[in-house]
């Protein structure tokens, strides 16, 4: 798989030898990341990055996902996964990601999400990309706002996060929404201003 780059920001397929760096980043960023991390109900909190990477690469080989690391000036800054790939008449998937605190504010996440979505539409044969975000995660909400992902509603107790089932806002783009590409639309200042607007009724239900 090719690498995807815009300025100092790059996406490349995850490698088994990335395990040590990623594990260290996760450990050093516990207070920054823990409240947003997916967990397994009724399972222990132990985690082995090498095993996780092997599983991600197996899913990639089977066509079920596209696991990337995000790099900034060649240094690993976090992960981005296109997961839950459905083919056939749906051709859809979901994006999830995390970035280390020391790299926050450098535009890494929105750029990486735009690169990944463009690759999904243009090269991976997908038609729809979804991002689901906890209402409290203001940093991630800024990502979909910058890129103009369309708000599609509230999903109740949708994903097990930080030890419990959590509500999520759902955002999505279809390939037809961005004929010129997600990244180009953002860079050129053509993102619709109201696409990500969350109705007051959904905000009140938090």
Mean pLDDT of 131-157: 95
What pLDDT shows up at residue 43?
A: 66
Give per-residue pLDDT as tens, 167-181: 999 999 999 999 999
Q: Going along 24-181, which residue ranges are E strands? A: 66-72, 75-86, 92-99, 128-133, 150-161, 164-174
Q: In what order do the strands lie in the sheet with 164-174?
A: 4-6, 9-13, 66-72, 75-86, 92-99, 128-133, 164-174, 150-161
Give per-residue pLDDT as tens, 16-65: 999 999 999 988 988 888 888 888 887 665 578 999 999 999 999 999 99
What's the token pair of residue 8? 């100092």
The residues, ordered by sequence, that sit 6+ positions from 14 with a Cβ below 8 Å of its Cβ are 53, 56, 57, 67, 68, 69, 79
Write down the mean pLDDT value for the chain.
Answer: 93
> Where do the H-state alpha helices sit in 49-137?
49-61, 108-122
4-204: in CATH 2.60.40.10: no
Mean pLDDT of 142-147: 97
What's the token pair of residue 163? 């030890």
The pTM of this model reads 0.94
Contact 70, 7 (CB under 8 A): no
Mean pLDDT of 4-18: 97
Contact 120, 66 (CB under 8 A): yes
Query: Quick one: pLDDT band at residue 201, thresholds 50, 70, 90?
Result: confident
Residue 87, pLDDT above cutoff 70: yes
What pLDDT shows up at residue 41?
A: 86
What is the DSSP secondary structure assignment for residue 201, as one 8-state letter?
Answer: H
């Amino acid at each position: 798989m090719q690498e995807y780059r815009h300025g100092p920001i790059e996406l490349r397929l995850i490698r088994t030898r990335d395990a040590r760096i990623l594990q260290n980043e996760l450990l050093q960023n516990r207070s920054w990341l823990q409240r947003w991390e997916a967990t397994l109900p009724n399972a222990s909190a132990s985690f082995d990055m090498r095993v996780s990477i092997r599983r991600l690469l197996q899913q990639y080989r089977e066509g079920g996902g596209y696991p990337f690391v995000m790099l900034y000036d060649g240094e690993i800054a976090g992960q981005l996964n296109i997961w839950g790939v459905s083919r056939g008449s749906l051709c859809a998937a979901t994006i999830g990601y995390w970035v280390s605190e020391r790299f926050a504010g450098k535009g890494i996440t929105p750029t990486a999400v735009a690169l990944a979505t463009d690759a999904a539409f243009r090269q991976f044969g997908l038609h729809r990309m979804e991002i689901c975000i906890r209402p409290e995660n203001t940093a991630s909400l800024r990502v979909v706002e910058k890129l103009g992902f369309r708000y599609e509603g509230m999903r109740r107790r949708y994903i097990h996060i930080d030890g419990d089932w959590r509500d999520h806002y759902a955002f999505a783009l279809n390939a037809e929404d961005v004929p010129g590409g997600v990244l180009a639309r953002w860079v050129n200042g053509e993102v619709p201003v109201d696409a990500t607007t969350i109705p007051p009724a959904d905000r009140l239900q938090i």
